[in-house]
Amino acid sequence: RRHRKTNRIVTHDLWRDDIYHSGLMPFPHEWQYDCPDQIKSEDLFIYGVNSSKQSIYIAIKWRPKGADNQIDATISLRFDDNNSNSYTLEEDSAVDFRPNEYRVGGLRLEISSPFRRKRITFRGYLTKNGNQLVYARFRFLWYALSRVYDFHHDFDDQFMAKEMALSSKSDKSETRFENRFEQFGQLKGQFTEGPDGGHRQLYLWGSAGKKYLHNTPINRDIHRCCGYTKDGIGFHLGFVCDKSGNEYRFGYLFDKSGHFLRLKALSLKGQDFSHILGNNLVHFKATFGERDYDFVIEKHGNCLAKRLLVNGSEGMCYVLQDTERHVQQWVQTYKSVANESSLVLGLHEENAQRVDINGGKGSSLAVLMSLSQVLVNEKYKKRFHVPNGVIVTANAYRHLLREYTDLSQYIRELEESTQWSGKELITKCDHLMNTISSHKLPEVIKQEIEAKLRQNFADFETKLFAVRSSAVSEDSAEMSAAGQMTTYLGVRGLEGIYSSVMKCWSSQFSGIAVAYKRGYGQSINGPMAVVIQEMIDCQSAGVMFTCDPITGDEGVLEVTANYGLGESVVSGSSEPDTIHVSVDIESNSLSARRRVKAIDSKAIGQKKTSVRLSESGGTVVEEAPHGSGCCVTDEDVMRLADIGLQIHKHYGHPVDIEWGLQGGQIYALQARPVTNLDNRYTDYEIMHEMDSSHPTESEIHTRAHCGTTFPGATSWTALQWSWANKSQYMVGLLSIIHIVIVTYVKRMDVMKGTAIADDYNPYVDTMGVAYNQLMFSLTNGTRVDFSDYPDTAESKQMVLSFFGHHFEDQDVLNAFKRNPNNSWLESDYNLLIASCNDVISADAPNSLREIATTIKDKHTFRQLTDEEALQVLANGSDESSIRFRHFLDIHGHRGYREADPMHHSWKENPIPCVQTIKGLLSGNKRQLEPKVVKSVDQAVDELKTPLSPLRRLLLKKLILPWVQRGVGHRELSKHFNVFMTDMWKQGFRLLARQMVAEGLIPFDDHFFYLTVNEVDELCIGRRNPLILTRVRHRRRLYKQMDGYKFDEFIKGPEMRPRNLEKRTIASTLGAGMVQMKGTPVSEGYVKARVCVADGIADADNILPGDILVTYSTDIGWSPYFPLLSGIVTEIGGTISHGAVIAREYGVPCLVAVEDVCQAVKTGDICVLDTNARTLTKVE
């Protein structure tokens, strides 16, 4: 029994000095239990409901196949929007195993932090109301509300013993109980129907559960009923029965106070559970813990979820039948992967498909060549060709560095150059590139290249080749590396090929490429292959997306095209034709046949120029012929679209494909995942990813007290470090936007100034007891009983606003207790507190005043700049300098927003103190006079609240002196608390500098936009580029979040700031307003200053957060993209360099905005709204 009762999920202990036990970081075994399993079969179930009769149900069956990370997965999904619409999905898929996420049928369940936060996204097609297939997207963030309930042992022993005794056959095996975990949580997110539909915000409550299936023959049925009410009551009841006669009931309840109560009695019999499914109305009773609960369940229209009442509290519940059968557990096996050491491979060779040695581009070409042969073998009519070629592998690159040890030394120096300035870094990069290019290609590699070329081409000396970089990290779903490395076109002859290979390898050390890699925390010297591919002199070429690149809708293909080579399309130098093709989709599963329907639209681009092959080698730019017409026929577009569907199916996800057309033949020149299609977070997710969960639909929150300690938005690091594990599983993580503290005043209707508590709330008494104990210890006995306070909204707000700030005296509180409308209460309270003179925090302004008075030449000091004045005070030898240095020794750890490690202390940045001193010297002379503090007698005599002589005497002689000492002790404790915070702050900054030195983050301030889990992941060597993508997104939104203002009290769950900007512009423009339309290529909305740049020479005018307006962008703009909040160009398409990088960085981008460079000027304030397809000048 003792073994059975051992917790598998360890409960955290706040008092343990350990990053895991304290809850700061999850235990390793928590990742193991909450993440997908490679071997064990699992059933997952997540549901959410609310009192508005909205509900979502997600069930995943996870069945590993036991070979090469392959998983058979089934998803059942249903979303009911009250009784109006229902959306369903039932699909089977074969998927690849991913360590931290379940991905099946368009749904993605990401474990952000085990048993704390999850991210649930969907992009695909749902069946609406049983007969209509609609494109839909939703993104939910799941926050834990409870600890984990373990079905193995968290039941009541006596109740379960009775159940087993009543069973006709008692099963004593380990399989008698479900191997299941369950946890309550809140879902918060947005739902969108259709590609252009508006976002609907949803708040749902329910549980997330996982069950491991047994590896023994089992044949049993489980009936379960689970739900949640608007007042924070969750429950799970069930009945298990199998063919052998073993049966039992089980259940638990999650109460309003956040505790699990075990089932002790239930009026439902086992056989009654099967009747709940079909009955319209069921009424039963249950006992959990020591309390009785009354349940009413009734059918609600066509919704799967049923209407629920628990002791009169309204909610929704699911009644389900789960049939459990034997599932084979596999031993994971893998294909043996030979230690491939080839220096050069042909595209047709099997090992050419390996990304680790051939890079993204090389492996994708090998995959495409293999697929083209499969279609030939299957006699598929619409085929494509892949120009033949060879790959100089990453093994050859490693051989190069082994042979030329001087290159390895230069590369190490560049890797360690994390502190170099921009110009210095570019100089070092150029030197390294020239050094590599000046070296000869090693003979052994030359021989391999020549041999493979002769093997694949009979007359390769006469052909023109493209020599293209193929880094291992290039062309991935996380990083496109668009244009970062160099491509050489029209190369002829062995010597030209050898030279181009060396230049390709050297190009990964260009200043632009190095900055790009550092921006993602990637190693500068990454494995890199080079592709040598025959060039086709295309009549027309371009790029095809097998989904809408903005919305991800797979019912649309987008084809961009221009005459000549595709280089003009990719570079954005010429506006291409854009054609949209509709696709007939039966389901999200790629195993179901998809068919091209018709061409939906054509947008004819200007196509002023085209790029052609030159007979002498290289390329030439020419005027495009027939620029006013489409450069691709409708028949060829339909052929292209059909081929795109075949490639999409083969890869298993949307891709963008570079293609060419020549002599009636279609050539596939490259295929890569659509970058950040599913990985990128939305603005909504970034703003809410660190929110706390709301146990009920009517939580009342206040920012009192913490609103002064944490004004504005708080850094991501501080949120987890400062508040980790305030309750068991960090369910109290505070909101990223203006720390919001839950007051735990539950079930209160704030109407007309009256707050009526309509049920027992344990936290109210807890708050009063804690406060009384604190006052008792500080005043040796004086105590105020908060339970006697009048139950009004005004009185509760006053108590909460005072709570934690200072210690009130008994008479003031008693006066408040007897007369809640006392208009002098607050002023009298402030008068008494102002009489405190032994407060260390008051010493700071007094010390600055004394420094100002000791400055000899006050007039000259006022004329100095802040930096010059700091140098005088910091390095001088007169009295003012000595006092200033002493001030920093005593108070240097203090500062504005001192509780957040992101912000500098006065010691780190003394400029605010210098500005204060200069301000004192510039103001009235009275400012330099010392503050006069009233005596106790004076303060009490000036009180306006009527008090008896005895009470006034007690205030003067006893109460107020105690309160003054209490205030002094509180400020002293805060002083030392901030001192310790400053120690942590210095440690954080040291760690940040070390992470920069190791190339894990590009700048040390990025550290404070990382979560603790992300810091850990980077420091142990997992250079996940998505982490830095989120960091950039957080930094971009931080200023906006920091400016939000919240009311003192606010009712959840929608915590809207009062200054939330409305994202709508009046249809009738005001005076001076200008609005232009364009083509959106990256989603988003931003209001910001505009910087108009005629060319790259104007890039120095860009300020952080600007919207860049220019004619077009190319690779040279890359270093400036992290600074931008939006991009607008006059020409370009969905595959132009600016569009690709904008989507990768999550920056809204509008292209094809005619004459925008003339319509706006630098300094204008504009709104860029890609949903409306507009750029609007508003100021």
pLDDT tens, residue by residue, 623-664: 877 657 899 999 999 999 999 999 999 988 899 999 999 999
Query: Is 681 a domain residue?
Result: no
- In the chain, the number of structural domains is 7
pLDDT on residue 677: 81
User: Which has the minimum average pLDDT: 131-140, 275-284, 482-491, 795-804?
Assistant: 795-804
Residue type, 515: A
Tell me how crowded residue 452 is: count the other CB atoms within 10 A of its CB.
23
> CA 917 → CA 845, 867, 880, 921, distances in Å?
10, 13, 11, 6
Q: How confident is the model at residue 777 (pLDDT cuts 50, 70, 90)?
A: very low
Q: Are residues 522 and 546 in the same domain?
A: no
**Structure confidence by residue, pLDDT tens digits, 658-691:** 999 999 999 999 999 888 788 889 999 999 999 8
Claim to verify: residue 317 and residue 404 sit in the same structural domain = no
Torsion-angle region of 607 (φ positive above 0: left; ψ -120 to 50: alpha; else: beta): left
Asked if residue 640 and residue 553 are part of one domain, the reply reads yes
Would residue 371 count as lying in a domain? yes
**Taking 80 as the threshold, does the pLDDT of residue 1136 lie above it?**
no
Q: What share of the chain is helix, strand, coil (3-state, %, to 5)?
A: 35, 25, 40
Last residue of a domain, one of 489, 515, 534: 534
pLDDT band per the 50, 70, 90 thresholds, residue 251: very high
Q: What is the pLDDT of residues 1030-1050, one digit of tens each?
A: 999 999 999 888 888 888 888
Question: Same structural domain for residues 161 and 305?
Answer: yes
Helix (H, G, I), strand (E, B) or coil at 127: strand
Residues contacting residue 986 through CB under 8 Å, at least 6 positions apart: none
Task: Catalogue the E-assigned strands of 650-732.
Answer: 655-662, 665-673, 700-702
Alpha-carbon gap, residue 845 to 849, rounded angstroms: 6
Same domain, 302 and 351: no
Mean pLDDT over the full length of the chain = 82
Question: Lowest-confidence range among 49-58, 478-487, 578-587, 937-946?
Answer: 478-487
pLDDT computed for residue 498 by the predictor:
96
pLDDT (tens digit per residue) in 220-235: 889 999 999 999 999 9
pLDDT digits (tens, 9 = 90+) for 35-58: 999 888 999 999 999 999 999 999
Amino acid at 1007: F
Domain boundary residue among 824, 849, 873? Answer: 824
Is residue 1067, in this structure, part of any structural domain at all? no
% pLDDT > 70, the chain: 85
Q: How many helices (H) and strands (E) does the chain have?
A: 31, 45
What does the pLDDT read at residue 473?
Answer: 82
pLDDT value for 333: 54
> Are 872 and 769 in a shared domain?
no
Please report, for the domain that includes residue 646, its CATH number: 3.30.470.20
- Looking at the DSSP bridge assignments, the partners of residue 202 are 189
Query: So what's the pLDDT on residue 1021?
Result: 87
Q: Is residue 337 part of a domain?
A: no
3-class DSSP state for residue 384?
Answer: coil
Specify whether 284 is located in the same domain as 148.
yes
Amino acid at 827: S
User: Which spans in 730-854 are helix H?
Assistant: 762-779, 793-802, 810-818, 825-833, 840-854
pLDDT of residue 1062: 63
- Output the domain CATH number for residue 1173: 3.50.30.10
| Cis upstream peptide for 1053 (omega within 30°) | yes
Are 545 and 670 spatial neighbours (Cβ–Cβ below 8 Å)? no
Domain ranges, residue 702: 691-824
Instruction: Render pLDDT for 148-189 as a digit per residue (tens, 0 to 9).
Output: 999 988 899 999 988 888 876 666 666 778 889 999 999 999
Has residue 7 been placed in a domain? no
Q: Model confidence over 512-536: pLDDT tens digits?
A: 888 888 888 888 998 999 999 999 9
Separation between Cα atoms, residue 175 and residue 166, nearest integer Å: 18
Task: Examine the domain organization and report whether 529 and 600 are in the same domain.
Answer: no
Boundary (domain end) residue, out of 756, 790, 824? 824
In a domain, 560, yes or no: yes
* CATH, residue 406: 3.30.1490.20
Q: Which residue has the higher pLDDT, 976 or 497?
A: 497
Band (pLDDT 50/70/90 cuts) for residue 490 is very high
Q: What are phi and psi of 451, to 5 degrees?
A: -65, -45
23: left (phi over 0), alpha (psi -120 to 50) or beta: left
Q: Is the pLDDT of residue 561 over 80?
A: yes
DSSP 1031-1084: HHHHHHHHHHHHT----SEEESS----TTPPP----SS--TT-EEEE-EEEE--
pLDDT exceeds 70 at position 462 = yes
Q: Is 923 domain-assigned?
A: yes
Tokens of 833: 């507190």
pLDDT tens digits for 383-407? 899 999 999 999 999 999 999 999 9
- pTM (2 d.p.): 0.84
pLDDT at residue number 741: 32
Q: Identify whether residues 501 and 467 lie together within a single domain.
A: yes
Verify that 40 and 176 share a domain, yes or no.
yes
Does residue 38 belong to any structural domain of this protein? yes
Whether 306 and 372 map to the same domain: the answer is no
Instruction: Clarify whether residues 666 and 696 are in a common domain.
Output: no
